[in-house]
Chains A and B, each alone.
Chain A
Amino acid sequence: MKQISYYPGCALKSGAKGLETAAHAVLTVLDWEMAEIPAWNCCGVVYSLVEDDLIHRLGPVRNLIRARQQGADSLVTLCAMCYNTLSQANRMMRTEPEKRDKINRFMHEEPDYQGEVEVLHLLNFLDREIGWEAIPPHVKRPLKGLRIAPYYGCTLTRPREVAIEPGRNFSLLTRMNWSEAVMIRSVPIRIPTR
């Protein structure tokens, strides 16, 4: 069974426990294991936007270091807010050397981090690593006749630099439903581009 590093976050351990259980179950069937990173902490929830506020970005960076220590190249999240803060912090560590150095110096007890880990939302992981075509053979109960409205929300789609898909039209969820290969056979309801 192949392994992928996983960052849960608070919601997946409380209100959204069901999503974590489901994701574990789905990936197990697909022969993947989500390995929870050790000693994870808060993701920061709302990414701080002002230039001189780095303290709120330490949380997500620390989590990325935990993943790196686990030897991970990529880190999967299920929560949209965690995805956003982790990938924005990661982008800062990759593209803003001044802030990166400041943070690395401040967290001198931690190994230096330069954005080596790739942050993936589970949808990206299914799309890139597993492929939608790998899912149909495992469908036991097709969701036939179910009308499904894909909702991406704010933090998976903005800012563009970290959006789960490039461009303005988001199709990850509809790709899973539309594709003839995926015999889930549910009917996606298209929401006008936000």
Chain B
Amino acid sequence: MTIQFTPENDPGRLFDQLEPMCGMDFHRCFQCGSCASACPMLDHMDASPRKIMHLVQFGLAEKLKTANTPWVCATCLRCRVICPRSIDVPRVMEALRMLQLRRQQDHLEPSRDRIHRVSDHPQIALIGAFRKLAS
């Protein structure tokens, strides 16, 4: 894949937003994929946590916006525990969610997405979903 850096996809712009939210050096990640191997939600993701870290390292904000990974992340913290470079991957996922939610780009919108049989879902799952997927 050829990556063309333009003023629009300047990695610095994404770092400026993500770094204060995450407080870590994304370049510490050496792409071993331990996070992906530990992830219980991997089958439902279109890009693995490892790939997301790679996209973050290159500052490819547009590609990150289209990945479903942060929305699928269960925040179970298995990747954080297993990472040999002590990178807090769930925090990066949360920051990526926040970047969109703070622009009112909700991933879950009750008036748009019909939540079937609300009463069938545990209350805690609904609150958890709104907390993570809506602003």
Q: How many A-B residue pairs have CB under 8 A?
A: 62
A44-B131, A52-B20 given as contacts; is B75 within 8 A of A15 (CB)?
A: no
Query: B128: which A residues are within 8 A, CB to CB?
Result: 45-46, 81
Query: B75: which A residues are within 8 A, CB to CB?
Result: 46, 49
Bound-state Cα–Cα, A28 to B94, Å: 41
Interface SS of chain A: helix, strand, loop or mixed? loop
Query: B88: which A residues are within 8 A, CB to CB?
Result: 49
- A15, A42, A49, A158: the one within 8 Å of B91 (CB): A49
Whether A18 is near chain B, meaning CB under 8 Å from some CB there, is no
- For the complex, count residues of A whose C-beta is within 8 A of B: 23
Is A50 within 8 A of B77, CB to CB? no
Give 19 pairs: A residue, B residue, CB < 8 Å, sorted on A: A9-B124, A10-B124, A10-B127, A11-B122, A15-B124, A46-B128, A48-B94, A49-B91, A50-B91, A51-B22, A51-B23, A52-B20, A52-B21, A53-B21, A53-B94, A154-B78, A158-B78, A158-B80, A159-B77
Known: A46-B132, A154-B77, A159-B77. 13 other contacts (CB 8 A): A10-B127, A11-B124, A15-B124, A45-B128, A45-B131, A49-B88, A50-B22, A51-B20, A51-B21, A51-B22, A56-B131, A154-B74, A159-B81
B residues sitting closer than 8 Å to A (CB atoms) are 20-23, 74-78, 80-81, 88, 90-91, 94-95, 98, 122-124, 127-128, 131-132
